[in-house]
Amino acid sequence: MKAFFVFLTLTTCVFAAPTTAQFQSTSTSIGPFPSNVLTSPDPAQATGLRVNLPPDACDPASSPAVCGYQSMLNELDGFSVNPRLMACFSGPVNAGSLANGMFVVPLTNGTPGNRIPVQQVIFDPTSRCAFAEPAQVLHQRSQYLLIVTSAVQDTGGAPVAASPQFTACLGASDTYCQNLASAIAELPPGPSDAASVVTASLFTTMSTTSWLERARNYVNATEFPIVLPAGLPFSFNMNDIQSMQWIPSDTGIGPQDIPVSALSGVGSVEFGFFLSPDFLGSGGAPAGTIPVTPTGEPIPLPSRFAVPISFHVFLPAAPPPPGGYPVVIYGHGLGDSQFGAPTYIASTMAQHGFATLAFEVTGHGYGPGGKVEITEKNGRVDTVATPGRGVMLPGNTQIGLTDGCIIPGPVGIRDCVRQTAVDLIALFDTIKKTHGLLIHLNPQRVYYVGQSLGSIYGTLFAAMEPGIQTAVLNGDGGSEVDVARLSMSSRPLAIAYLQATNPALFNVKTMHAPLQAYFYPPLFPGVFNDNYVFPGSAPVTNTVPGAMAVQAAFAAADWLDMLGDALSYSPLLPQHVLFQFGYGDLEVPNSTESAVVRAADGQAHTSFFNFAKAAGINPALLGVTMDVGGTAFPILPHRILSNPTVCTAPGETPLALAEQRQAAAYFASDGQSIIDPDQFLSGTPYANQDLFTDPGVLPEGQNFLQVQPKPDGGT
């Protein structure tokens, strides 16, 4: 009897069925995903396809590829260029083997290209599904293969096998299976050849830039009236000015000082308006949004033909060179205004011969009644109109810092960013058509510098406007969803998104003080832990209940946001773009900054600020904070460039000036030379400390001072 038992045990082991890679392309929970099976033919789209996902209730207990907003996703003409890849198995697999056995292959006219490895790999034992992202942003309107090979192993070390369903598809007569089989057959010989493939899918990426390309063409083809003055007078000599105050409207705050003392080297300031079409609400879309329309057809006309947008320019004190002053357009950050950060870089730019131009960004500047009062030394007081572009939200009596820019739900800042990119294109077009706004600007030498949100919408602008060949992007990051889920200041937006999607997605029920004030805004009952895997990290086996559904919910928003995300536009940036960033950024985390740099292939055009080292020299830098939900969080190094717009710690100033001077020198060389900012720190406590690395190298797989909640509420 004992011998029989042993024989039975051995035969059970020998003849046990192998673990197989699942194949059910019509399912977003089995996959592989993405797959063109989940699309329908649509000749109105640039890709000839339209996404056609099945209904999804966004069950927090499931592990789908995407979760929620199927009706919105089904308006798109393909899958994300930053897709959340999924492959499922009949049993558990070794997560460490997935990085070698799962990859993406581009197809050009049906011919496979070089394999693209995956990153951010996580295996969920409950659903037996693996999730990952391509190690690079995919090209828009292109075909790809998602491949899983027998290099993936089960937990016993045996290779996974193909399922009968996959084998049947490769021999089937339907168009999708035939195309899939043909593409797999073209894989080159080697360890990842056709014979090793155990499951696969064929998918087409979406059009990310189609709308903005058409909006740009509309601007260029439309004859708007010339630039308009903001009042009479609209030009002021700085030597005559005693003080300037910005008086925003429809807000509870009082007048804001525009410090004349910060404008050394500036000779005059000019105020005016340029005109830009307003596409928000066009085509009957909800207020604050831009409709998603077929990418092969014309876009709806703007909801307002020409909106006057306030701008001002700080001109250098030195006489203009032949052709006029070169001009730097400054794109300010979220919650700032045209009278914030641009004021504190204008002096540096003027001393290098550049004019600094700032304008009021979509959803910023408070109400339409804003104005600037200039008090001259002779006692005369002049007023110029500087209307804000904030929106009075329903139920409010005042306009907030960003009202009209951030839209609840998956859209977030996507359409605010796209509209602001249109405004920048209209501004650049106006500079060209008016020979420099009629104020001695050189329309052949226009540059761009953006900080934080200004870098995000600046990425779209620089990618789509051929006339901008040189730019500095400070604190640029993507995707926008990753910024929200990882950033200390933006995490409440991620919480609000999950609340609107399904409150049951909150999978952390308790949180230790003092984080409760931040992670538990009174409006929300819980917080989330999505077990996020940083780029560069080893594959992870999930142990966090509910994490995969949270990831899937974020994947839906990430897909939708690719229409206006810095990450999807970065591959189209011009060659001469300098990326500035600092170690330990809590607002645009390092992992999101490095993602944009890699997508732009901009590793050789970076400047990395070692904030940890600077804080070691001057610990007071860590005490510079901002209020988030009643809790103070460190604000540096994110806003070093805009010093002292938000902060006034003296230790910041030499660091800010060093970054500003690097940007000015980069513009002066037309993007040919990246100088080391350390040379500007002589005579300061930071002298001879090598705080800046050019080109910079971002630390992968970590984010300085990043707080991640654990399932039990710890951190």
Residue, of 556 and 16, whose pLDDT is higher: 556
* φ and ψ of 616, to 5 deg: -65, -35
Residue, of 351 and 512, whose pLDDT is higher: 351
Most confident by average pLDDT, 143-147, 618-622, 698-702: 143-147
The pLDDT value given to residue 110: 78
Which of 696, 293, 671 lies closest to 462 in space, CA to CA? 671
Give, in order, the Cα–Cα distances in Å from 196 to each of 130, 187, 322.
18, 10, 66
The pLDDT value given to residue 3: 46
Stretch 467-474: mean pLDDT, rounded?
96
Q: Is the pLDDT of residue 262 over 70?
A: yes
The pLDDT value given to residue 192: 72
The pLDDT value given to residue 606: 94
The HSE-up count of residue 199 (CA atoms within 13 Å, CB side) is 32
The HSE-up count of residue 433 (CA atoms within 13 Å, CB side) is 17
Q: Is the pLDDT of residue 396 over 80?
A: yes
Q: Given phi > 0 = left and psi -120 to 50 = alpha, else beta, which region is 319?
A: beta
Stretch 494-507: mean pLDDT, rounded?
90
pLDDT in tens, 533-579: 999 899 999 999 999 999 999 999 999 999 999 999 999 999 999 99
Strands 266-278 and 228-229: antiparallel
Which of 24, 25, 73, 39 lies closest to 204 in space, CA to CA? 39
Residue, of 2 and 278, whose pLDDT is higher: 278
The pLDDT value given to residue 398: 93
The pLDDT value given to residue 6: 41
The pLDDT value given to residue 314: 97
Residue with tokens 């917080």: 527
DSSP state, 651?
Answer: G
What contacts 459, CB < 8 A, 6 or more positions away? 450, 473, 476, 478, 566, 569, 570, 573, 596
Q: Is the pLDDT of residue 707 over 50?
A: no
3-state secondary structure of 261: helix
Stretch 617-641: mean pLDDT, rounded?
81
Stretch 393-397: mean pLDDT, rounded?
89
Residue with tokens 């080893």: 538
pLDDT in tens, 300-355: 999 998 899 999 999 999 999 999 999 999 999 998 999 999 999 999 999 999 99
pLDDT in tens, 646-678: 556 778 889 999 999 999 999 999 999 999 999
* Averaged pLDDT score across all residues of the chain: 89
Stretch 504-517: mean pLDDT, rounded?
65
Rounded CA gap, 387 and 707, in Å? 39
Assess whether the previous peptide bond of 32 is cis (omega < 30° from 0): yes
Q: Given phi > 0 = left and psi -120 to 50 = alpha, else beta, which region is 29?
A: alpha
C-beta neighbour count of 61 within 10 angstroms: 11
Q: Band the pLDDT of 526: cuts 50, 70, 90.
A: low
Q: What angle do CA 291, 295, 298 make, to 5 degrees?
A: 75
Rounded CA gap, 168 and 174, in Å? 11
The CA-based dihedral angle spanning residues 513, 515, 519, 523, taken in that order and rounded to the nearest 10 degrees: 50
Among 11-15, 246-250, 268-272, 698-702, which is the least confidently predicted range? 11-15
